[in-house]
Amino acid sequence: MFSVLDDEEKDPRRLCELIAREAFNIYTEEVETEIKIGENGTRYIKDGMNVLTHCNAGGLATAGYGTALAVLYTAKKEGKEFSVYADETRPLLQGARLTSWELKRNGIKVSVLCDNAAASLFAAGKVDIVIVGADRIAANGDVANKIGTLGLAILCKAYRKPFYIAAPLSTFDMNIANGNDIHIEQRSGDEISYLGGRRVVPENVNIYNPAFDVTPSEYISSIITERGVIENPRRDKIASFVRR
């Protein structure tokens, strides 16, 4: 935003116009990026599939179309029929509150489940693929995303199901060697100790509440970006993909 300002410009109205124009340019670029992610990822969605997702990677978290959900929206527009399972995503319930609302609003069949029911869903043969977003991707392909993502990746490996990440190239941080170098926010214990305004955990009990976890690259089948898909993402492959 600073780069678009003219140091010689003193008129406040003109300065506001410059900043507003750049803001809308950023918004337009972001929407175009999300649409391309959807187009590049729709190949993985087949008729009759059951898709599992975690947290919210839709329009409410982005410029309006989404990343992981952009793939589903694009598949829906292509006429594909499939069902989605949305983890509730404790403790802030982004899946239950946001993802299910978005999917229902867009005419996609969705069911919400408790996070700890995911393993039984796999065991029952009701998951064909998992697709989620990402908050940061390290140079080696390790991915930080909402807490609970790692567990789904491990389940995919155990049950031989593909695990996909959908994220823009801006999510890659090539200055971070691997997931060990990604700082994980520890959030307030009140998010867990209180439920519906009532305390459900005894006083003076320690709370472990990381906002994110890190999924190693070897658990990831592909990373879907606006430029294309990185299959079996590894350091050398990612470096050449990001640079091109």
Does the annotation count 135 as an active-site position? yes
Give me the catalytic one of 135, 173, 181, 236.
135
For residue range 120-154, what is the model confidence (pLDDT) as tens digits?
999 999 999 999 999 999 999 999 999 999 999 99
pLDDT, tens digit (0-9, with 9 covering 90-100), for 45-82: 999 999 999 999 999 999 999 999 999 999 999 999 99
pTM beyond cutoff 0.85 = yes
Q: Which are the contacts of 194, defined by CB distance < 8 A and separation ≥ 6?
A: 200
**Helix and strand numbers, DSSP H then E, in the chain:** 8, 13
Mind listing the domains of the chain with CATH numbers?
2-243 (3.40.50.10470)
